[in-house]
Amino acid sequence: MGDERAARGSDSASGHDRDDERARPLVVTRLRRENERLRERLAERRRERERIVERYETLLDAARGDGDVRRSMVARLIDKLRRT
């Protein structure tokens, strides 16, 4: 009787291995999709950051070109923000 249990245990273990073999490609596919989704999200954040920096640089250039004291103060603040 112990031999039968051992035999059944090894059968169920090999059955489990077969299930793992079938599930592995699904897991790999899911991980690849998640990786691609995260890469796209990161790229979008980089593009957004570049747009923000470009906008501030445009504002900074405009503020530097203006002789107005208040705009000069804004230009210094934006310079300080860019350095941080």
For position 4, what pLDDT does the model report?
53
pLDDT of residue 18 exceeding 70, the answer is: yes
Residue 30: predicted pLDDT: 96
pLDDT, position 57: 82
Q: Is pLDDT at 16 greater than 70 in this prediction? A: no
What per-residue confidence (pLDDT) applies to 29? Answer: 95
Locate all alpha helices (DSSP H) within the chain, ordered by sequence. 2-65, 69-83
**Residue 8 domain boundaries:** 2-83
Task: Give me the number of domains the chain comprises.
Answer: 1
* Global model pTM greater than 0.85: no
Q: How far is Cα 29 from Cα 35, in angstroms, rounded to an integer?
A: 10
Rounded mean pLDDT of 19-35? 90
Distance CA 72, CA 63 (A): 6
Q: Return the ∠ at Cα 43 (arms to 79 and 55), rounded to 5°.
A: 30
